[in-house]
Amino acid sequence: MPSETPQPSFVLVRPQMGENIGAAARAMWNFGLDRMRIVAPRDGWPNPKAVAMASGAGRLLDEAQMAADLPEALADCTYVFATTARPRELTKPVFSPEGAMKKAAELIGQGEKVAVLFGPERAGLENDDIAKANAIITVPVNPEFASLNLGQCVLLTAYEWRRQADTVPEEVTDLGKNDWATNAEIEALVTHYEDRLVEAGYFFPPEKAPGMKTVFRNLWSRMRLTRADVQMLHGIMRQMVRWKEHSDK
């Protein structure tokens, strides 16, 4: 069983080589992290090459949560970081690894569930992946050679978590009778709005629709919503649709 120590989940998104998954597990366990999630590994699962590379950290692979896609992997999370070395055209807070793990420690100390995304080895996370995150982690590497191995990136982030872990605050944010919305609840809300906007012809012209949807989803990920906020926004959209249908009669 994973330890009960408060910590973020490290999510490997479409990893390609078993050796790199094993190296990531070993890096995590070096710094006391044992909550690994794996999204759609290229070579299937389980992977004997991952086990061999993990050495003494094989338990993390045995207990890793498998997910078919990213929304499934993030369903219970309330705050998500995405690691990337390349500049993106998405408006998000950008943290250093140290700053990100300090923020993660604060959020986890308040009872939130935090995840950190790591992309596949060939090109890293795609914009659609990053659009689902609340913030970006960028490592200050040599601009002429910015590529980090998956295991190296996990190691660096895990190290910064270890440095911050002892500073997790004891207090919990008072949300009254409310809770932060989970990623699954946000995903359902965004899908609700996106579907209605598709019906209204908002995403036009067709060739620009995919990019418009990515920007639209990125907008939602920048907002911290409670479950009450989500329920209210669902109600607003339902009422607008009912009003439109009534006015057309």
Provide the CATH number for the domain around residue 59: 3.40.1280.10
Statement to judge: residues 78 and 190 lie in one domain: no
Residue 175 domain flag: no
- Model-level pTM? 0.85
Question: CA of 136: how far to CAs of 49, 82, 83, 153, 154, in Å?
Answer: 30, 5, 6, 13, 14
* Tokens linked to 249: 């009669």
Statement to judge: residues 63 and 128 lie in one domain: yes
State the Cα–Cα distance between residues 238 and 234, nearest whole angstrom. 6
Statement to judge: residues 63 and 142 lie in one domain: yes
Q: What is the pLDDT along the chain (249 residues), one digit of tens a residue?
A: 778 889 999 999 999 999 999 999 999 999 999 999 999 999 999 999 999 999 899 999 999 999 999 999 999 999 999 998 876 788 999 999 999 999 999 999 999 999 999 999 888 899 999 999 999 999 888 878 877 889 999 999 999 999 887 655 556 666 777 899 999 999 999 999 999 999 999 999 999 999 999 999 999 999 989 999 999 999 999 999 998 787 776
Statement to judge: residues 40 and 141 lie in one domain: yes
- Which residue segment(s) compose the domain that 195 sits in? 183-247
CA neighbor of 183 nearest in space, from 36, 38, 78, 90:
78
Statement to judge: residues 152 and 219 lie in one domain: no
Q: Taking a C-beta distance cutoff of 8 angstroms, is the pair 85, 146 a contact? A: yes
CA neighbor of 28 nearest in space, from 68, 67, 63, 77:
63
Residue 2 domain flag: no
